[in-house]
Amino acid sequence: MTDKQRQAGQSNSGESDDKMVQSARSRAPEGGDVAKSDLLQAYRRQKSEPENDEQNKEQKNRKKPKRTSSGESIVVDFVANFVAGGNASFEPVKGRVLMSEQRLILATSEAKTNIPIVSIFDIAVGQVPQEVEEFFDYTVMVGYTNGRRRATTVIGGDRDTIEKFSLLLFRAVLNGSQAMVRHPARIGGRVLDTDRKPTGLHLDYEAVTFPDDDGALTENGEPFHIDLASVIFFEVLERTVEDESRLVLSVQHVRDGQTVTSEISLKSRRKMNILGRYLRLVYHWIKSEVRNIELTEEGLEVLVGLYSTGEMAAEVDFSELLDVDQAVLDEKLEKLYDEDLIDDDTLPASLTPQGRFIVNEEIEDVNV
């Protein structure tokens, strides 16, 4: 399957009419020209590494959360340059960017822009608009409604800061949403008569999870989730859901060695647009990190072997399984670790999202 075939589908909802958004979209791919991101590596390490420093725990517990004047807890607070509210001059100003669960606030010494989270209809990361490219290296554009008017804010800064903020903004907009999920809608080329089920929705960097309180989508006590490194293709379609026409995100991904398709719908077209943005962004990030990796056939065999054995890897004699000397296996493991495809250079080792992406592409090529 070619890269063009794998490219994620664009939403046709027509949500954003802002000239800056359209200009930037025509000049850059989703996510910009993304190199390997230190932020995303740190994000995964933070998830996987337990905090052992009791003193730091106590300090964290003692620290009182910041709050807005209305009592809302602040989850984001950093200094940045921005163009607030579609300012016609396109001249950035320096100020504070704050976010609570209810609103995004851009504050300077002279003015303050309040953007309710529920008014945000678009989030575009890494696309520097032509009007402000001389001022910014990396940006996130936020489209929102202000009464009957649509406005756009551009926030710029270093890549790590903007990526981290963007992930939090996506989660603020989408987490806790109610979704209808049809899974599996298709296995390989076989269409299934599967009912749509109501679920919640929760974003993580590596997955989109659909908690349904031990309902039909829960498997072995775990809520259904789509590993974003397993995504092969997705597109936005029109479907009849709950007796009305809705946008549906059709996601083709690899699960247990099979290519399956899941369909996700949110009642809000605004949220569907943003969910599509999120999937395209993370897909691009992961794909960018493996773009220049060249694996030997032996290296790919080791990677596929680790993927296939999963938690049983510690009990498998890999040198015997792959019919190679232990010294050769150790060399291959070290190479895979250096390429950030596995999380350790000794066994047992798990695949990183980049490693899973490469294996899932290989599985898809075999299944085609």
Q: Domain 3-51+65-174 falls in which CATH fold?
A: PH-domain like (2.30.29)
CA dist., res. 367 & res. 189, Å (int): 10
CATH class name, domain 297-367: mainly alpha
13 pLDDT exceeds 50?
A: no
Q: Which residues contact 110 (CB under 8 A, 6 or more apart)?
A: none
Alpha-carbon distances of 82 from 26, 111, 206, rounded to whole Å:
21, 12, 29
CA–CA separation, 96 vs 105, rounded Å? Answer: 8
Please choose, from the candidates 219, 273, 264, the residue with its C-alpha nearest in 3D space to the C-alpha of residue 30. Answer: 273
Of the pLDDT bands very low, low, confident and very high (cuts 50, 70, 90), residue 77 is: very high
What's the whole-number mean pLDDT along residues 105-134?
A: 90
Domains 178-267 and 297-367 are alike in CATH topology: no
Q: Which architecture characterizes domain 178-267 according to CATH?
A: Roll (2.30)
Q: Say how far apart CA 288 and CA 112 lie, in whole Å.
A: 37
Angle between helices 353-367 and 269-290 (to 10 degrees): 90
What number of residues does the chain have? 368
Gap between the Cα atoms of 45 and 38, Å rounded? 11
Q: Residue 278's closest CA among 244, 245, 251?
A: 251
- The full set of domain ranges for the chain reads 3-51+65-174, 178-267, 297-367
For the cut 80, the answer to whether the pLDDT of residue 134 exceeds it is: yes
The CA–CA distances, whole Å, from 360 to 76, 182, 309 equal: 35, 22, 15
pLDDT of residue 27: 43
Global confidence as pTM: 0.76
Mean pLDDT computed over 262-279 = 95
Q: Tell me the C-alpha distance between 173 and 238, whole Å.
A: 23
How many whole angstroms separate alpha carbon 240 and alpha carbon 330? 53
**pLDDT tens-digit readout, 193-244:** 999 999 999 998 789 999 998 788 888 888 999 999 999 899 999 998 988 9
3-state DSSP call for residue 325? coil
